[in-house]
């Protein structure tokens, strides 16, 4: 494809994207396709000859779009907001169009230095001190794995340069809670800690926040048994109920016992753009690493996960390799982001944030987040005032956890009733919600925060939820 053909077809594609965003509200929120439907609609073998652009667009419309659960739909209240602001989409286009290669500072100084600058802008915007240095990873899962490896190498005094964990004298232990994201356990397993060395620290039964007294007790017990406490992961805004671990107490504990503290604020990091929410991660300055996803609630299109450390020297020592073909005269003066994580080649992801911040502006982003918080509080008030409806967790941010409790229903019968009304809503296509099992009981999460969601959508959801649940035979 030459630039002139690209010009013509790209304009068409952009028109199509604009139309798609404008008609999204008319589509079912959850896709109606079944397993294999999309695969079955595609040819089993690749095309031999180039096809007309119009044919590709036709299939995009008729095959791909029906196979999407429309997370940009204003009635999407499932999982978490996965916003894709159009300002950041422009940055993503620019990144793709430039076709840069990020393997060293020399291969694209702009890629490195724009990333340094926007990571620092984002640091300022969430109120972190200037002792943090950041980079952009694809996801919070990668950030957590990186942090696990940093903790492992700190606890073993760079065991990777010797026999690694295969020669470690004592097991290294990770502390988190059952409420933590599944990526925390996955990272611990991949970093070689082993399932036997992951401790689920007891939680406050109401808030599902880690109990710091229980953390200290487990650490002492492990030390007494000859193990090495190596890593504590604090969840600031858990996926289930937006539980907030007590970061300040955990940081004290980490300091006292010399343990790495990672703060996983993948979802709730966006809230820290609002000064009034920052008490929720009080003590974060005592952590060793922090990650959060602008690609969730804030709305910089996937993938864009910020990862900050206090000691980049340690990070680089653990992650660096110096192949001769990447040597350059500026080594030593510049940041080599290949030494800040796992991949060598990186995309120009910083442009997404740069465009997003410059074109939407932080003021508008903050106003939207505050509206979402207000909408969630409004919904929580309605739930509390309604007979037979209960709030199942404190509403710390924009997720409201609810149950409909018809008289006489509990235990498994209540779970069956809950899943029945949620499934009915999701099947209808009118809205989408994701239930979750919390402490052994199914509850329904209403995650407010899609960029297009306004108060009237939340009102419509509340009506829909009440009517649907009332119509399910108890
Ligand atoms: C979403 C989420 C993650 C995982 O995020 P990815 O970027 O998809 O890996 C981790 N932790 C928490 C608390 C989350 O909400």
> DSSP for 30-71?
S----TTHHHHHS-SS--SS---HHHHHHHIIIIIGGG---T
Ligand 1 atom at minimum distance from 237 CA: 13
Give yes or no for a contact between 463 and 383, defined as CB atoms under 8 angstroms apart: no
Full-model pTM: 0.96
Query: Is the CB of 235 inside a 6 Å radius of any atom of ligand 1?
Result: yes
Which of 266, 399, 449 has most ligand 1 atoms within 8 Å of its beta carbon, as the pocket-test mutant? 266
Query: Is the CB of 453 inside a 6 Å radius of any atom of ligand 1?
Result: no
Give the per-residue pLDDT at 417. Answer: 97
Ligand 1 atom at minimum distance from 180 CA: 13
According to DSSP, the β-strands at 172-176 and 198-200 are parallel
CB-based burial, 134-160: b 16+ in 10 Å, e otherwise = bbbbbbbbbbbbbbbbbbbbbbbeebe
Percent of the chain scoring above 70 in pLDDT: 100
H helical segments located in 391-454: 411-428
Cα separation, 273 vs 282, in Å, equals: 14
Cα separation, 262 vs 41, in Å, equals: 45
In three-state secondary structure terms, 263 is strand
Long-range contacts of the stretch 109-118 (C-beta < 8 A, 24+): 109/334, 110/348, 111/346, 111/348, 111/350, 112/334, 112/335, 112/336, 112/337, 113/335, 114/348, 114/350, 114/351, 114/354, 115/337, 115/349, 115/350, 116/335, 117/350, 118/350, 118/353, 118/354, 118/357
Q: What is the mean pLDDT of residues 30-34?
A: 96
Residue 39 has pLDDT above 80, yes or no: yes
pLDDT digits (tens, 9 = 90+) for 232-277: 999 999 999 999 999 999 999 999 999 999 999 999 999 999 999 9
Which of 78, 140, 144 has most ligand 1 atoms within 8 Å of its beta carbon, as the pocket-test mutant? 140
Give the per-residue pLDDT at 330. Answer: 77
Query: Is the CB of 266 inside a 6 Å radius of any atom of ligand 1?
Result: yes
* Residues paired with 263 in a beta bridge: 234, 290
Instruction: Supply the residue whose CA is at minimum distance from atom 5 of ligand 1.
Output: 140
Give yes or no for a contact between 363 and 128, defined as CB atoms under 8 angstroms apart: no
Query: Is the CB of 267 inside a 6 Å radius of any atom of ligand 1?
Result: yes
Confidence of residue 169 (pLDDT cuts 50, 70, 90): confident
Query: Is the CB of 245 inside a 6 Å radius of any atom of ligand 1?
Result: no
Give the per-residue pLDDT at 473. Answer: 77
Cα separation, 36 vs 82, in Å, equals: 25
Q: Residue 142 belongs to what H/E stretch?
A: helix 140-155
Confidence of residue 416 (pLDDT cuts 50, 70, 90): very high
Burial of residue 165 (number of CB atoms within 10 Å: 0-12, 13-18, 19+): middle
Ligand 1 atom at minimum distance from 295 CA: 7
Query: Is the CB of 238 inside a 6 Å radius of any atom of ligand 1?
Result: yes
Give yes or no for a contact between 259 and 219, defined as CB atoms under 8 angstroms apart: yes
Ligand 1 atom at minimum distance from 138 CA: 7
Closest to 183 in 3D by CA, of 115, 262, 260, 126: 262
Query: Is the CB of 239 inside a 6 Å radius of any atom of ligand 1?
Result: yes
Ligand 1 atom at minimum distance from 267 CA: 15
DSSP 428: H
Give the per-residue pLDDT at 174. Answer: 98
Burial of residue 430 (number of CB atoms within 10 Å: 0-12, 13-18, 19+): middle
208 Cα to the center of ligand 1, angstroms: 17
Cα separation, 154 vs 260, in Å, equals: 8
Task: For the chain, state the CA radius of gyration.
Answer: 24
Taking the CB of residue 9, how many other CB atoms lie within 10 A of it? 15
181 Cα to the center of ligand 1, angstroms: 7
Give yes or no for a contact between 230 and 260, defined as CB atoms under 8 angstroms apart: yes
Give the per-residue pLDDT at 474. Answer: 65
Sign of CA dihedral 322, 324, 325, 328: positive
Residue 350 has pLDDT above 70, yes or no: yes
57 Cα to the center of ligand 1, angstroms: 32
pLDDT digits (tens, 9 = 90+) for 71-98: 999 999 999 999 999 999 999 999 999 9
């Amino acid at each position: 494809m030459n630039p002139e053909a690209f010009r013509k077809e790209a304009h068409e594609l952009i028109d199509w994207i604009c139309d798609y965003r404008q008609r999204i509200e008319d589509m079912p929120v959850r896709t109606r396709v079944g397993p294999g439907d999309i695969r079955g609609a595609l040819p089993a073998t690749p095309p031999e000859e180039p096809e007309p652009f119009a044919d590709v667009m036709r299939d995009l419309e008729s095959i791909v779009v029906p196979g999407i659960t429309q997370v940009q739909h204003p009635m999407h209240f499932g999982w978490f907001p996965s916003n894709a602001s159009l300002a950041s989409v422009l940055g993503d286009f620019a990144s793709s169009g430039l076709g840069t290669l990020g393997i060293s500072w020399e291969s694209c100084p702009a890629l490195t230095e724009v990333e340094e600058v926007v990571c620092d802008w984002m640091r300022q915007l969430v109120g972190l001190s200037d002792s943090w240095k950041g980079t952009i990873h694809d996801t919070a899962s990668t950030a957590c794995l990186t942090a696990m490896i940093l903790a492992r190498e700190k606890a073993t005094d760079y065991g990777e340069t010797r026999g690694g964990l295969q020669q470690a004298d004592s097991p290294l232990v990770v502390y988190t809670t059952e409420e933590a994201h599944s990526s925390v356990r996955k990272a611990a397993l991949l970093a070689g800690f082993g399932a036997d060395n992951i401790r689920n620290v007891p939680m406050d039964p109401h808030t599902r926040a880690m109990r710091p007294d229980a953390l200290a007790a487990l650490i002492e017990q492990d030390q007494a048994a000859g193990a090495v406490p190596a890593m504590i992961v604090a969840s600031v805004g858990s996926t289930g109920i937006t539980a907030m671990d007590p970061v300040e107490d955990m940081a004290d504990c980490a300091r006292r016992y010399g343990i790495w503290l990672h703060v996983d604020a993948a979802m709730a990091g966006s809230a820290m753009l609002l000064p009034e929410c920052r008490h929720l991660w009080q003590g974060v300055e005592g952590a060793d690493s922090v990650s959060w996803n602008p690609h969730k609630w804030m709305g910089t299109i996937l993938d864009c996960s910020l990862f900050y450390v206090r000691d980049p020297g340690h990070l680089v020592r653990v992650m660096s390799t110096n192949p001769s073909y990447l040597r350059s005269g500026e080594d030593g003066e510049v940041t080599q982001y290949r030494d800040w994580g796992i991949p060598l080649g990186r995309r120009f992801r910083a442009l997404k944030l740069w465009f997003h911040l410059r074109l939407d502006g932080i003021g508008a982003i903050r106003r939207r987040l505050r509206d979402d918080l207000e909408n969630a509080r409004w919904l929580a008030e309605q739930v509390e005032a309604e007979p037979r409806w209960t709030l199942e967790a404190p509403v710390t941010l924009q997720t409201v956890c609810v149950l409909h409790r018809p008289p006489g229903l509990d235990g498994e019968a209540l779970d069956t009733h809950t899943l029945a009304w949620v499934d009915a809503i999701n099947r209808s296509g009118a809205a989408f919600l994701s239930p979750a099992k919390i402490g052994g009981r199914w509850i329904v999460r209403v995650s407010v925060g899609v960029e297009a969601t306004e108060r009237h959508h939340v009102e419509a959801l509340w009506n829909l939820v009440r009517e649907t649940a009332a119509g399910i035979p108890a």
